[in-house]
Amino acid sequence: MSSVSLLPKVAITGLGLVTPLGATQQAFFASLAEGRSALSRSVDPSIQLPEELRGQPIWTGRVEDFGAQAAIEAGKRRRMPRLAQMCVVAAREALGLVPGVAPAEAEALRRHGAARIGVVLGTGLGGLDSTIEFVRSIIASGVAAASPAVFPYTVMNASSGILAIELGLTGPNITVNHRELSLPEAIATGAELIATDRADAVLCGGCDELSSWLIHGLWQMSLLSPDLATAETAPIHPYEARGQGVVPGEGAVVVLLERADRGLSAPPLAYLSGVGRAGDERARVGWSHKSGPAAGASAAITQSLAMASLSADQIDYVAGAGNGSSLDELEAAALRDALGQAAERVAISSVIGQCGEWQTSAGVRLGAALWSLCAQKVPGTVHCQTPDPLRSLPGIIRTSRAAQVRHALVPTLSQGGANISLVLSKA
């Protein structure tokens, strides 16, 4: 069994999204229903790319206008890094706040009080551009040239701190930094705060942004699609044998967790019914199947099912992480081991092909799982034409369709070997 107790019952009552697929829940859900891809090619002269990519349009999943001007006062916005702005906008939506309405007016704050609402944000790299800017100034001109105005944004917990200040929340404030697990671990940590009576509600989720330095590093490590600058269509192929790498994206996803037995601020979207964690011996960088087995990933899934008191055949949908890399093979192996014969029937898809991937892109998969439970539909797997039996399951969904979804599984594997699995159940 998992070490996390989810008693009392934990409800997800709010969802805020700032993603390439949409900067609101409504826009994101509509994009899932339409099967729209948000990946596009662009040239940004301000981005310092590797020489092989310089001056060429490259495929990315970028977040365009996400409503920061309407949601955040101009004076505060000028001093707030873009990553934190995305988090604030997503958190306000999760609280049900429309532009112009003060945070104190949120029903969750009125019901629970600011001291009983926590913040747990996950991030893989934090404000990378701010960190690089700060360090470069020191290298170029010495310590005296380092800007004290930039330094506060170089720390990983900058976004969670700014979010709490902006919304006036004085409960626990935690930042989780665990690569691909950062966001689901933030959700699990938020549930633990509720289970241990340290909070009645928690805003939790994750955020990461596109950065020229990130793209440069991933390219040098051969982790990006080699056709990033030459392909005429988005070079990402989840669950296909030809998948060779990922397309980078960005975003912020925040949910509001509430303790169900103390009254909810809004009708629940779903319940968080299971969490499981386990580890594997796996390479620190990349997704080579040869770097280790998927036994830990399988164990995490099994634990999450046990906590939710579910059998494998009760899972109706898997919000997969297929990204066009050899991760797909590891995920398929773990699901087959954990679910047994049910793995040959369960519906599975990945929305990563619609918006790209970033360290906390598990958030868009969580959003897809919530959509499946609320709309009784499952999203498709965009850019997957010929699924590979070794990298996919027979129940792969390529085009969104109606389905009966009572329980959804969100498994996440990370480079380096850690794994976590979440089970969401219909409200």
Q: Is the pLDDT of residue 323 over 50?
A: yes
Average pLDDT of the residues of the chain? 92
**362: enclosing H helix or E strand:** helix 362-375
| Superfamily for the 274-426 domain | Thiolase/Chalcone synthase (3.40.47.10)
Domains 10-270 and 274-426 equal at CATH topology level: yes
Q: How far apart are CA 199 and CA 208, in angstroms?
A: 26
Query: pLDDT tens-digit profile of 124-157?
Result: 999 888 888 888 888 888 888 778 888 888 899 9
**DSSP symbols for 109-152:** HHHH-GGGEEEEEE-SS-SHHHHHHHHHHHHHH-GGGS-TTTGG
Segment 320-349 shows an average pLDDT of 95
Segment 343-355 shows an average pLDDT of 97
Indicate the pLDDT class of residue 295, thresholds 50, 70 and 90: very high
What residues does each domain of the chain span? 10-270, 274-426
Max CA-CA distance within the chain? 63
Q: Is the pLDDT of residue 57 over 50?
A: yes
Q: How far apart are CA 50 and CA 90, in angstroms?
A: 32
**Would strands 418-426 and 407-413 be described as parallel, antiparallel, or unpaired?**
antiparallel
**Pair 255, 15: CB distance under 8 Å:** yes
Segment 75-96 shows an average pLDDT of 96
Phi, psi (degrees; rounded to nearest 5) at 204? -140, 155
Q: Which residue has the higher pLDDT, 24 or 57?
A: 24
| Superfamily for the 10-270 domain | Thiolase/Chalcone synthase (3.40.47.10)
Q: How far apart are CA 259 and CA 202, in angstroms?
A: 9
Indicate the pLDDT class of residue 188, thresholds 50, 70 and 90: very high
Query: pLDDT tens-digit profile of 110-121?
Result: 999 999 999 999
Sign (positive/negative) of CA torsion 108, 114, 115, 121? Answer: positive
Q: Is the pLDDT of residue 309 over 50?
A: yes
**Residue 311 DSSP label:** -
The proportion of the chain whose per-residue pLDDT surpasses 90, expressed as a percent, equals 75
**Pair 328, 353: CB distance under 8 Å:** no
Residue-level pLDDT at 8 = 79
Segment 296-304 shows an average pLDDT of 97
Residue-level pLDDT at 48 = 63
Query: pLDDT tens-digit profile of 327-336?
Result: 999 999 999 9
Phi, psi (degrees; rounded to nearest 5) at 272? -85, 105
Q: Which amino acid is at 143?
A: V
Q: Which amino acid is at 404?
A: Q
Q: How far apart are CA 347 and CA 316, in angstroms?
A: 6
Phi, psi (degrees; rounded to nearest 5) at 249? -140, -165
Segment 384-396 shows an average pLDDT of 95
Query: Would you state the structure tokens that stand for residue 337, as one six-digit string?
Result: 């081991």
Q: How far apart are CA 372 and CA 367, in angstroms?
A: 9
Q: Is the pLDDT of residue 5 over 70?
A: no
Phi, psi (degrees; rounded to nearest 5) at 190? -60, -40
